Structure 1
C-alpha cells in the first residue's frame, strides 16, 4: 500500500507547477522514509487506543505508515487527524484512508479518521486539542516575512522568532501532544544551530526529550525527483523532561535503512547547554564524537582569546557606484570569496572576477581598516569537501582601507593587531580536518555563521602562535592537507 501511495504522490507532485509547489513548500515523503519513521513509534500495545496527528497530510502516507505500525504491535483502535490545505489532493487522501479502514476491519480493529482542509499553524489546534499520543509530520519548508506574513508571531506564545514555517509546524504539533506523547518529524537540519532558530531550540530543549536523531550522509537522495539538496534529518521527541541519552543513527540515503550506523551518546554531548544558543550537535559516528570531546576540552575559546569575527561590509547591490575596473581614481582591491584559498588570500587583478573598489566620497563606511586578518569564506558549495576555508591577509601597501565583500568573514583581535605568526596559526587551525569535522557536527548549513564561530572552543593564543610558527617553518606556499593536520597533531596532540 505504501509503495503505491508513494508512486501516486510523486506523479501528482511532478504535474504541479514549480511555483505551486514552492508556495505550499510541498515535498512528499517516500515509502521507505515513511516506514522508517513509523518504526520509531514507541507506544505500547497495552494502550487501548492511540490518537495520531499528521499536520500536513498530503496523500496520508505518514499517518498510514504509523497506523499500520501500531496495528502490527497490537494497538487495535486508532483515530487519525489530518490537516491538508491542498484541496486538489483531498480525494486521493480520502481514498487512501478508506483503504486503511478496510485493512483494519479485516483484522477486527478500528480505524477512524478526520480530515481538516485547514491551515494547521493558523488554526492552532493545540489550543483546543492537546491530547494526541503521536504526531508524525513532514512539514512544508519556506521562510516567511516576519512583518506581513499571516504566520508572523502566530507561535509567539511558544517560542520567540519566526525562523521558518517548518519550525511553526513542529512547535504546534508538539504542543498538541499529551504528556509523554511522541513527535516524529522529517525536517531540515537548520533548526539545530543558528541565531534565527535560537528561540525555537530553547522551546524544544525546555519542553521535550530528544530521544532519537537520524541523519543522511548523502544530500541528494532524499527528494531526488525534485532535485532538493536540503540537508534533512529525522528526529523523535517525547513530551517529557530530557533523559540522559540520545540515540543517533545514520544512513547513506533514503532507501538503505537496513544498514544503519547506530550509536548512543549522552544528551550533554548532543545538546550544548554551556551557552544560550543551545546548539544541537550531531556526530555521524563515534570518531565525530571523539572530535567533539577533544575540541570541547580546549583551555580557551574564540571569545576568551578576544578574537572578533565580522562580515565584510561591501554589499555589492548597494555599492555598484564604487565597484569597477578603472584605476583613474584611487582604488583598493575588492576581496571576494574566489580570492580566498586554503591559508592564502590572493588578488592579482588577473581573475575575471577581480574588481576594484573606488575611494571616493561616501566610500569609507563600506571599508575596513587595512590590517592583518584571517579571511574566512561565508559559504561553501553543497558538494564541497570542506565547510571551513580561509586564508591569510597581510597588508602589502600603505592604504588605510581594505574592501571586503559581504560573503567574506574577517577575523582579528579586539585589542591587538594580529602578528604574522598568529594569523597563520588561525589559518592552520581553521583549515584543519579536525575543526572542519567538528564544524560539520554543529552545523548542517553550507553557510559559515559568525554565531557558531564565536562559540568555538580554541587553544590559547600561545598555542595558536605555535601553530603559525610551525607552518612558517615549512616555508611552503601551498601546503598539503596532510601537512596542516600534522602541525595540528604535533602541537595540539590531536
Structure 2
C-alpha cells in the first residue's frame, strides 16, 4: 500500500468532517475575507513572476489549508493530552504554529468541535509520524500547484543519502553548526538531521540545538506549518516530564528559524555550515528581483540553478552543499556560468540515477545528487555512484579525479557523469586528440528559424503553387528522411506555409545535414541525423526548417551550399555509437543543442572511408552496415580493442 493510501485510510473517518469545515470556512470568508486578503497579498509578495497566481485557485488552497490546519492543531493537542495528560488550548498551539495568522483566525463551531474531539482517538494519535505529515502536504497539493511551486515529496531514501553525503556527523561538528534547507517543504531533511542527532543528544539539549541551529524557508505557508509539526513530533518523544514539556511549549515550539520566506529574493548575509535539500525545478524569467543572480543567468533560468548559486554564496568556508537537482545543468549553455563556479570548488560526490521515472511521483526528470565542499578545488578524488532508482538496486561506484568530471573553458565546463570509470579515460583521449567545430574548420551547427505556432495564420495543409513546405523534426530518423503526415487540427500544425515577406529570412535551400533537437533521455542514440532525399530537393526549391531541428552550415555564408561528401562525413560522425555514448555521458536532458554539437570531438583520419560507408547505406539501412560504419569510426579515433569494447558495452 502506498504512503498516500495509508494516509487516506487513516484519516478517512474525518473526510466528511473536513468537508463541513471547508463549507464553514467558505461562509465565514464571504462575510469577512480579511484573512484571505492577507494570505493572497503574502503569496503575491513571495512569488517570482506572480502572474502565475490565480485568485480563484489561491482561495481554494486557502480554504483547504485552513481546514487541514485546524485538524492538525486538534491532533497536536490530542497528542499532548494522551501522552502527557496535559490539557492545552488548541488556540495556543495554533498561534505557535501560525505566527503570520493565516489560519489561526478560524475557530470551529461548537458542533464541529464536538465531532472533531470524538475523532481524535488513540489509534489516530499513534499513527503520527514524519511520513504522516509529509503525506498530508503531498496529498494537499494538486498537480497544478506542484508544478507552480516546483515541489515534490522527497523519498526517505533520497533524504538519507543527501544527509549522509553532506557529512552531517554530530560526533565531529558539535552543537554550533548551522544547517538550512532553503526550500524545506514539509521539513523531511531537517527531521532526518534530528534523527542523526538523537544518537548523541536528547531532551532539552537536542531541543535547544534545533531551536538555534536548524533553519528552513518555504514560500508555502502550510509547508511552514508542517515543518514545525514535523520538528515538534521528532523532538517531543525525547521530552522527559511535565517540566521539560512546559519549557518546550513556552520557549521553543514556535521554531523562529522556520520561516515563510522566498529564499531567492531575501537579502541575507548569514552563512551556513550545511545547506541541503531538494530545490524547486521550473523555469522563470529574468527580472530585477533576480539581480543577485546576474553572474550566472543566461537566457531563461531554471529556479534550481538559482538555489544552487544561492547555496554557493551562503555556505561557510569548508561548509557543505548537497542538493538533488536535474541533470540538465551538466551541459546546457544556460548553466555554463554556474558550472564555471562549481569547477573552482571541491566536488565531493555525484550520485547519478539512471531512471527518470522512479524517483519522484509525477515527475520524469533525470536527477543527480550533487555534493560540494566550499573550499578551493583540490586533488581529492570525486566519489561517483550510479543507481537505478532510490532503492539499492544495481549500485556501482568508483572514485576519479575532478579533472575527469569537469572540462575546462574550451568545452563550456561540461560535466561528465558516467556509469562506469572505464569510459572516462576513453573520453579524455578522444577530446585531447580531436578538434571541434566551434574552434576549427569551416562549418557549424545552427538551429532552424521557423517556429510554426507563431505563424499559424500562414499554415495550410494542401499544397498550392505559392506555399513552402515545413520540415519538422519528426521527419528525421537515423540516416533516413521520412516525411510523415503531421496534420493536427486541434493544435493547428500543418505541412505548408503560405509564402510571405515575414518568412524571407527563415527560408532554406539545397541539401543539408539535419539533426533532431530533442531525444529520448534513456536512449543511447541521442543524436539522430539524416540528409534530405533527392526527390525532396528536386521538388522543393525552398523550405522552412522548424526550430526543433539543427542543421550544418558554412561559417562564412549560411546560404552557401556544402559539398555532399562533407555532409556525408559529418552524418556518419554524429550518428555513430561512439559520439552518441560521449553525448549521453555529458548531456543531462532531452535536448540536443547546436552548441553541444559544435563541441563534439571531431577526428578526420578516416574521412574517405566514412563517406564510402555512408554511401553504402543509401536505400539500404541495415544493422550490419551501421555496425561496419561504427568500426570505421573507432579506427578514425584510434581506439584499441579494449576501448572499443567499452563503447560497445556501455549502458546508461
Would the TM-score normalized by the shorter structure come out above 0.5?
yes
Deviation at 1:210, TM superposition (A): 1.4
Deviation at 1:290, TM superposition (A): 4.1
CA distance in 1, matches of 2:617, 2:142: 57
- Contact kept, 8 Å, 1:41 with 1:66, in 2: the verdict is no
Q: 2:427 aligns with which of 287, 292, 312?
A: 292
- Contact kept, 8 Å, 2:467 with 2:498, in 1: the verdict is yes
Instruction: State yes or no: 1:486 paired with 2:635.
Output: no
- Contact kept, 8 Å, 1:144 with 1:152, in 2: the verdict is no
Instruction: State yes or no: 1:389 paired with 2:528.
Output: yes
Instruction: State yes or no: 1:20 paired with 2:161.
Output: no
- Contact kept, 8 Å, 1:144 with 1:151, in 2: the verdict is no
Alignment of 1:141-152 (within 5 A): 141-147=281-287, 151-152=289-290
- Residue 326 of structure 2 aligns with which residue? 188
- Residue 306 of structure 2 aligns with which residue? 168
Greater CA radius of gyration, 1 or 2? 2
CA distance in 2, matches of 1:197, 1:61: 28
Q: 1:406 aligns with which of 547, 565, 583?
A: 547
- Residue 587 of structure 2 aligns with which residue? 443
CA distance in 2, matches of 1:101, 1:74: 11
CA distance in 2, matches of 1:474, 1:145: 45
Deviation at 1:105, TM superposition (A): 6.4
- Residue 336 of structure 2 aligns with which residue? 198
Change (3 A) 1:335 1:99: same
Residue ranges of structure 2 left out of the alignment (5+ in a row): 1-125, 241-247, 489-493, 640-652
SS for the counterpart of 1:240 is strand
Q: 2:614 aligns with which of 455, 471, 476?
A: 471
- Residue 271 of structure 1 aligns with which residue? 406
Q: 1:380 aligns with which of 519, 531, 546?
A: 519
Q: 1:30 aligns with which of 125, 142, 155?
A: 155
- For 1:339-375, what per-residue CA distance to the aligned partner results, in whole angstroms no more than 9, with x for missing partners? 111112233x76657723444544322201x233210
- Residue 419 of structure 1 aligns with which residue? 563
- Contact kept, 8 Å, 1:421 with 1:472, in 2: the verdict is no
Instruction: State yes or no: 1:138 paired with 2:138.
Output: no
Q: Which has the higher contact order (CA 8 A, sep 6+)?
A: 1
Higher mean Cα deviation, 237-246 or 409-418?
A: 409-418
- For 1:400-431, what per-residue CA distance to the aligned partner results, in whole angstroms no more than 9, with x for missing partners? 52321111111133357433332222122111
Instruction: State yes or no: 1:83 paired with 2:252.
Output: no
- Contact kept, 8 Å, 1:421 with 1:469, in 2: the verdict is no
Instruction: State yes or no: 1:457 paired with 2:577.
Output: no
Alignment of 1:39-118 (within 5 A): 39-42=164-167, 45-49=171-175, 50-69=177-196, 72=199, 79-102=213-236, 114-118=257-261
- For 1:376-395, what per-residue CA distance to the aligned partner results, in whole angstroms no more than 9, with x for missing partners? 00011455552111111365
CA distance in 1, matches of 2:238, 2:320: 23
Change (3 A) 1:490 1:455: closer
CA distance in 2, matches of 1:159, 1:321: 38
TM-score by length of 2: 0.67
CA distance in 1, matches of 2:378, 2:138: 40
CA distance in 1, matches of 2:366, 2:135: 20
Instruction: State yes or no: 1:234 paired with 2:369.
Output: yes
SS for the counterpart of 1:468 is helix
Deviation at 1:485, TM superposition (A): 2.2
Instruction: State yes or no: 1:209 paired with 2:346.
Output: yes
Q: 1:6 aligns with which of 131, 146, 163?
A: 131
- Contact kept, 8 Å, 2:524 with 2:581, in 1: the verdict is no
- Residue 262 of structure 1 aligns with which residue? 397
CA distance in 2, matches of 1:24, 1:350: 38
SS for the counterpart of 1:120 is coil
CA distance in 2, matches of 1:385, 1:276: 21
Higher mean Cα deviation, 6-15 or 295-304?
A: 6-15
Give the count of matched residue pairs. 478
- Contact kept, 8 Å, 1:56 with 1:139, in 2: the verdict is yes
CA distance in 2, matches of 1:173, 1:492: 41
Residue ranges of structure 1 left out of the alignment (5+ in a row): none
Larger fraction in strand:
1
- For 1:249-292, what per-residue CA distance to the aligned partner results, in whole angstroms no more than 9, with x for missing partners? 010001227x5211112211211114272122211212432442
SS for the counterpart of 2:538 is coil
- Residue 122 of structure 2 aligns with which residue? none
